[in-house]
Amino acid sequence: MMQRRAAEVAGWGAALALALIAVAVVASTSSWLLYRDGDSVVVALMADSLRRGDSQDWALSPVLFLPETTVYAALSFLGLGTTGSLTLNAVVNLLAVYGGIRLVAGRSRPGSRPVTGSVLAFAAFVALVLLEGPGGMPGFHLALLTATTTYYSATVVGTLVTVGLFRRLLDGAPTVRVVPVMVGVVAISTLTNPLFVGWCVGPVAVAVGVLLVGRRIVPRLAVVTLLAVAGAAAVGYLLRGFFAANIVAAGGNYLRPDQAGDALARLAGVLGDTVVSVNGLLWLAVVLALFAASVVVAVRSWRRRDGVVAAVCVLAVVAPLAATALVVVAGTDADRYLQPWVFLPVVVLAVAPPVLSVPRALSAILAGALAVAAIAAVPVTVAAASRPDADLACVTRWVEASGRTGAGQFWTVRAPKLALTDPSHLVQVDNTMRPYDWLVNRAERRGPVTFLIQDAATIPFAGVPTFDATPVRCGRYTILDFGSRVLPLGDPRN
């Protein structure tokens, strides 16, 4: 028992080291995505607004960010500031991925090394994160998105946890203990992001069907599992009705089957961008190798009548294919929906029977090297999180000193809104000066607007004469100050 606990502690220690290394790279090479991206900052904006006790009327996408906001809000109470909290949140997200993989790996039993396999699988995931560094690889960026608070980290973890609980049921764990937890995870995951149905619920149903046809699962357990995941998903989706006023995205924005051809062409283009670099070729080779390994292990396990491992590997194959089909059928250009390709096939390393035994001496050397790398990563991460943004600080000082309200477009104004003590001093608008109700608190006061903020992402404003505006340069930002002149706002849009 003590040896098993020591192994678990060692596994979590290795995972922490790997997470620290990954976050150091992401914070250094993808700081914009982590700290200032228009979508990435919504969780911080929501948590800060709740902490201030502001009135709440958020205009949200189909993703409600409920687990993400809870985690970030808890971490923000540590007093690390916005960038510090987002950085720590990235470490927590990655550790949660390891926890999900470890659950999928199952309990220790003769002939298995679930902790070693879990660490190896997580290391493969971290390797994909490192290869995706924007400085080294154009094209797909799927693994590093898990470090953010908004690009489906909770859905990634929820999927892994559900797969792990499914595996526990197949291993013979008491249904009275596992099923309630599974129901809760599936309901919350569907409530916060309906994409979870395509990533997890559907593939689990396929895996159960395969097991049932092949007589690798008793009918009673198959029915219980299907009722649990399907029923919980239905409950989670129905609970979204309580947030109907906050979900402003129209279904037509996400389901465009008439554009399936364009979606396929875009995917081919991103794939082409990926393979032009050495990093991209390595990344694609790792992803495809893990996917192929999942197919091979699924077949071999099936022949050995190991339905548990076969089911997990079937999920690792079906979910990425389902995600790809969803992207094409929905006619979307959001390749982030393809994340199952990077976090599910890696679990084959955690569940497959060990092929080689690592000598203790080599394990000690690897552990030492990992510890040294993790220690070295900490100051790199701190430096990246603490790096001042002089341009953003310039805008913040000017806005707060003016005491007035200005406006800016989504990709321009998000980071300044987060940096302000009172975000309502900046109104989010489109290029026609209509308030843009997207990932923003509609309860904030709006106006009177007397200045505009622009940067390279700003689309030229239509119908706004600027002859009387005084430009204020703040590096990548330009503030157009109209003084006492009030710029009229149009009707809100989303």
My answer on whether 255 and 336 are in the same domain is yes
The amino acid occupying position 4 is R
Mark 427-456 as b/e (b = at least 16 C-beta within 10 Å): bbbbeebebbbbbbbbebeebebbbbbbbe
Rounded CA-CA distance 123/103 in Å is 16
My answer on whether 51 and 81 are in the same domain is yes
Last residue of a domain, one of 314, 349, 375: 375
The count of domains in the chain is: 2
- Taking only the tens place, the pLDDT of each residue in 204-213 is 999 999 999 9
> Angle at CA 334, nearest 5°, toward 230 and 68?
60
Kindly list the distances between the CA atom of residue 440 and the CA atoms of 299, 411, 428, 436, 478, in Å, as whole numbers in the listed order: 48, 13, 8, 8, 22
58-59 and 470-474 beta bridge pairing: unpaired
Q: Is 380 a domain residue?
A: no
Rounded CA-CA distance 32/439 in Å is 18
My answer on whether 72 and 214 are in the same domain is yes
My answer on whether 365 and 417 are in the same domain is no
Structural domain of 30: 2-375
Rounded CA-CA distance 344/159 in Å is 9
Residue 468 tokens, joined: 């009387």
My answer on whether 42 and 119 are in the same domain is yes
Rg over CA atoms, the chain: 24
Last residue of a domain, one of 322, 345, 375: 375
Report the share of the chain in percent with pLDDT over 90: 82
My answer on whether 86 and 7 are in the same domain is yes
My answer on whether 309 and 397 are in the same domain is no
Last residue of a domain, one of 314, 346, 375: 375
Rounded CA-CA distance 198/320 in Å is 10
131 neighbors 286 (Cβ within 8 angstroms): yes
Q: Three-class SS of residue 484? A: coil
Rounded CA-CA distance 272/269 in Å is 5
My answer on whether 15 and 146 are in the same domain is yes
Q: Is 491 a domain residue?
A: no
My answer on whether 352 and 471 are in the same domain is no
Q: Is 202 a domain residue?
A: yes
58-59 and 405-408 beta bridge pairing: unpaired
> Angle at CA 481, nearest 5°, toward 476 and 482?
150
Q: Is 493 a domain residue?
A: no
Residue 482 tokens, joined: 């109209």
My answer on whether 51 and 99 are in the same domain is yes
Which pLDDT score, from 0 to 100, does residue 447 have? 80
Which pLDDT score, from 0 to 100, does residue 357 have? 63
Which pLDDT score, from 0 to 100, does residue 392 have? 97
Q: Is 136 a domain residue?
A: yes
Ramachandran assignment for 332, one of left (phi > 0), alpha (psi -120 to 50 degrees), beta (any other):
beta
Q: Provide DSSP, 17-85.
A: HHHHHHHHHHHHH-HIIIII-TTTTHHHHHHHHHHHT----EEB-S---HHHHHHHHHHHTT--HHHHH
- Taking only the tens place, the pLDDT of each residue in 219-266 is 999 999 999 999 999 999 999 999 999 999 866 667 788 788 888 999
Rounded CA-CA distance 451/425 in Å is 10
Other CB atoms within 10 A of residue 220 CB: 9
Which residues of the chain carry a pLDDT beneath 70? 111, 134-137, 250-253, 355-358
Q: Is 381 a domain residue?
A: no
Q: Three-class SS of residue 429? A: strand
257 neighbors 330 (Cβ within 8 angstroms): yes
My answer on whether 91 and 239 are in the same domain is yes
Q: Is 201 a domain residue?
A: yes
Which pLDDT score, from 0 to 100, does residue 353 have? 77
My answer on whether 288 and 419 are in the same domain is no
